[in-house]
Amino acid sequence: MSFPSNAGVVVGMLPWRSTLRAILPAISFIIVLGAIGWLNPRAISYLGFNLMLNLAIPLALVTIGQMFVITVNDLDLSLGFFVSFIGCVTATWLVETPLLGCSVIIAAVAIYGLVGALIHLRGLPSIVVTLGMSFFWQGAAILLLPQPGGRAPEWLHALMILKTPYIPMPVLAAALIALVVHFALKHTVYGTILRGAGGNPHAIRRAGWSLLTIKIVSFMLAGVFGVLSGFALTGLSTAGDANIGNGYTLLSIAGVILGGGEFVGGRVSPVGAVIGALTLALASSSLLSFMHVPPDWQVGANGAILIVILAARALISRREA
């Protein structure tokens, strides 16, 4: 059987397009970073990276948390509010009564697992359940800390302002988060099972794995990374605030998708998710400020950046097909 003369060219182009799609998050990050360097060359320095990327660490952590939920084809609309609640607990009970604070945080992660179980057992839409949980976490945070206040534990604040030699601490922290989660999700048996549950749940069930357990673990992992994000955010801000992390919910979803993740199919990239979070952090806190974009317009500008990048991804995917 003969093939068209250009078949070899087409087949040869597919890996190239797949590679381009995979590195698109890094290209987006480099473009944003290059624009910042062009607008303000002094920002591309040790001190500049420390200032620009410090707040990217909590966002990277919460994005990884959201990624675990998206891995099993769900969405968590309460994660940002959960981060605010953890921040309030950290700035109050964790300082004043550490045992109570630790107990509440552990119970909060357990509640996350119960939410996953409820979604699976009752077949409820995760968007509806987690939207309801967002009111629960926000209400609990406001009851605990009606006004911004409290104080971060000294060890936590010292950790978040740590100055590492040669390479800024936020860069090292982001790389560590990405590599550890990448190894756990891509190179361990259970990481493969988690991704398989999103890609082909029926095959996972036939293989003898419990989809209920997988759902609980995925949501509890989201809770764990939400706790870490709350810690990081409180350590940087040095106080608690019931509304400080509310915007992280949509940013975490955007970071996962910007980093190459898909809403269905268990297709996620930990490295891409972290890069996506860093890109969003740079675009919102530095690039738009250097461009003198008014604060009222910055949310819309962030959305425009995300749309452009997703449009490029869609174009590449269509040409692959």
CB 245 within 8 A of CB 229: yes
CB 58 within 8 A of CB 236: yes
Residue 50 predicted with pLDDT over 90:
no
Q: What confidence tier does 12 reach under pLDDT thresholds 50, 70, 90?
A: very low
All residues at 6 or more sequence positions from 316 whose CB lies less than 8 Å from its CB, including other chains:
17, 20, 21, 24
Measure the N-to-C terminal CA separation of the chain; round to a whole number of Å: 23
The least confident of 16-20, 161-165, 169-173, 284-288 is 16-20
Cα separation, 105 vs 137, whole angstroms: 12
pLDDT tens figures, 228-271: 999 999 999 999 999 999 889 988 998 898 888 888 878 889 99
Please report, as a single letter, which amino acid is at residue 174: A
pLDDT at 46: 86
154 or 5: whose pLDDT is higher? 154
pLDDT at 5: 47
- Give the domain ranges of the chain: 23-314
pLDDT at 96: 92
What are phi and psi for residue 149, nearest 5 degrees? Answer: 175, -155
CB atoms within 10 A of CB 103: 12
Cα separation, 288 vs 286, whole angstroms: 6
Average pLDDT (119-139) is 95
pLDDT at 320: 55
Q: What percent of the chain has pLDDT over 90?
A: 56
CB 60 within 8 A of CB 181: no
pTM score: 0.90
Enter the tokens of residue 219: 């949501």
Correct CATH for 23-314 of 1.10.287, 2.60.40, 1.20.120, 1.10.3470: 1.10.3470
Cα separation, 88 vs 246, whole angstroms: 13
Cα separation, 44 vs 109, whole angstroms: 38
pLDDT tens figures, 264-296: 878 889 999 999 999 888 887 776 666 766 666
Q: What confidence tier does 49 reach under pLDDT thresholds 50, 70, 90?
A: confident
